[in-house]
Structure 1
Amino acid sequence: MGNDEKTKRVVFVTVGTTCFDALVKSVNSDSVKQALFEKGYTHLLIQMGRGSYLPTKSEGDDGLLAVDYFTFSSSIADHLRSASLVISHAGSGSIFETLRLGKPLIVVVNEDLMDNHQSELAEELADRKHLYCASPQTLHQTIGDMNLSSLLPYTPGDATPVAKHINRFLGFPDD
């Protein structure tokens, strides 16, 4: 292994089954790629779902991140497991799966969704220091400022207060 063989540190971006071009455009921007590179990440793998915006593939030999993308995969869990950092849409499935695997997570809220209770969940978990929350516009800033050692592990048993909060928000009575 030569001196230039850096440890592979993959950032996995997932939009689930949705179309979230704003997130894909954001992670494909030079400012976000630069911020990730400065944090020591080497690879960017983007799952772009139904989106129509195609990121720029790169081998990473330009001294920046290697970038690859795909639309759907049956092995999202494998990608999550091998990631050093996950950047996800605000779908609760993606959020809880990533937290269950103990991966650092930045949730990017889709501001184009009008009725967005997903952002409530992300913001609640961010307040509890389990993840970072960003918008496509603030993502590069969030990456630049993040300190992963300040994140707290999420234990699934902690869900009750979060579930109560969400149920209250959705108008269900406390049981």
Structure 2
Amino acid sequence: MKSVFVTVGTTSFDDLIATICSPAALQVLQSRGYEKLVLQVGRGALPPSLSGTALAVEAFRYKESLAEDLGRADLVVSHAGAGSCLEALGKEKPLVVVINEKLMNNHQLELAKQLHRDGHVFCCNCSTLVETLQSMDLSTLKPFPPGQPEKFALFLDKVVGFQ
């Protein structure tokens, strides 16, 4: 069953949940062959009943780990939090990053734009999410290179004078 996993992290992003649950977004997801929508809503409002859609929908606030949900997803739609983005990219999942334009001094915007420029994600805001879902070509996304903690360790050793 092709599924979409949506995450807002530990805060709330009701606009993203409302947009992805809109009839237009649900229609696009269904037309692209998705059959299930899993929503992690954080502190935000739980979505209204979506019984009129052919998609199976489930929602929850928090879990100890999102690894299982990410692992099962065929597409991830996420807020622009670094942890959420990097975890999805680390699992090699196609990712649509949605900018929360209501955040002041939005540092998340910088990360999302850079990941988009580098070809790893699609980036949009709530007003362009449906269009992005409709036009995205997942085959154009570039894999995100795995972390190299040994390089950081060598750098840290050099900084503190161990080398």
Question: Is this a same-fold pair by TM over 0.5?
Answer: yes
1:37 to 14, 30, 41: 30
Q: Is the 8 A contact 1:108 1:139 kept in 2?
A: yes
1:102-136 CA distances to partner (integer Å, 9 max, x unpaired)?
00000111000011010111011111110001111
Q: Please state whether the residue corresponding to 1:22 is helix, strand or coil.
A: helix
Question: Alignment partner for residue 4 of structure 2, among 8, 11, 25?
Answer: 11
Retained in 2: the 8 A contact 1:109–1:136? yes
Shift of 1:65: 1.2
TM-score when normalising by structure 2: 0.86
Letter in 1 for 2:131: Q
Shift of 1:52: 2.1
> Given the alignment, which residue of 87, 90, 94 partners 1:97?
87
Tell me, what secondary structure is at the counterpart of 1:153? Answer: coil
**Aligned match of 2:21:** 28
Give 2:39's aligned residue.
46
Q: 1:53: how far off?
A: 4.6
The residue that corresponds to 2:67 in the other structure is 77
Match of 2:153 in 1: none
Unmatched runs of 5 consecutive residues or more in structure 1: 1-7, 159-175
CA contact (8 A) 2:26 2:53 kept: no
- Separation (CA, whole Å) in 1 of partners of 2:49 and 2:101: 24
Amino acid across the alignment from 2:23: D
Q: What pairs with 1:87-166 in structure 2 (closer than 5 Å)?
A: 87-157=77-147
Contact preservation (8 Å) 2:46, 2:59: no
Given the superposition, is the C-alpha separation of residues 157 and 42 from structure 1 closer, same or farther in structure 2, using an over 3 Å criterion?
same
- The alpha carbon displacement at 1:68 in A equals 1.2
**CA-based RMSD:** 1.4
Shift of 1:30: 0.6
Q: TM-score, normalised by structure 1?
A: 0.80
Aligned residues: percent identity? 47
Measured in 2, the distance between the counterparts of 1:131 and 1:30 equals: 24
CA contact (8 A) 1:57 1:69 kept: no
Q: Deviations over 1:128-173 (max 9, x none)?
A: 1100011111111000000000000000359xxxxxxxxxxxxxxx
